[in-house]
Amino acid sequence: MAKTYCEAAPGHEWHGPYHDREYGFPLEDDAELFERLMLEINQAGLSWLTILKKREAFRRAYGGFVPEVVAAYGARDRGRLLANTGIIRNRLKIDAAIANANTILELRRTHGSFASWLAAHHPRSKDEWTKLFRKTFRFTGGEIVNEFLMSIGYLAGAHVPSCPVYPRILERRPPWARQR
């Protein structure tokens, strides 16, 4: 049995591409950051495989995770999302998506972008990040925040040093590697 994601993911139809091309690589685009945050939120209580399989349906349902689009969602959109069998139909997670899109728009006003807000608060410990996210976003507990930040390069641990992907991530200079 594999002990790490780096051992389990390679060659897997869904985990392999995510592990090799996305997990742990730095992100700066607001829509990509919002997507990753919302996928992590929706994964709570479920498997990551379930989320990866539903990813395209999420993208269609949430307007490509463009924050302006999701922030404008109203009652009709909530109903549409709750009826969409292709995504996770959880009212709290849907409401969090809309609220968090509005938060990202506010972060753009105060910091220029979601990525700039993250950079302005780096470095922090996992606990400090969790407190900040809980104060700023909805539905963001410790594991969600940890996985989100590892997946976008703000916290170390997405890959083990012996993983072939690890040097490719270091070449991109993720924020966790810059603090050394």
| Signed CA dihedral, 26, 32, 34, 38: sign only | negative
Instruction: Name, in order, each residue with C-beta under 8 angstroms of 49's C-beta and a sequence gap of 6 or more.
Output: 14, 15
**Annotated catalytic residue: which of 22, 48, 68, 166?**
48
Q: How far apart are CA 125 and CA 170, in angstroms?
A: 20
In the annotation, is 18 catalytic? Answer: yes
**Annotated catalytic residue: which of 18, 23, 129, 154?**
18
How many C-beta atoms lie closer than 10 Å to residue 132's C-beta?
Answer: 16
**Annotated catalytic residue: which of 35, 40, 62, 117?**
40
CB neighbour burial string for 87-125, b if at least 16 within 10 angstroms, e if fewer? bbebeebbebbbebbbbbbebbeeeebbbebbeeeeeee
The answer to whether 100 touches 137, Cβ cutoff 8 Å, is: yes
Known catalytic residues are 18, 40, 48
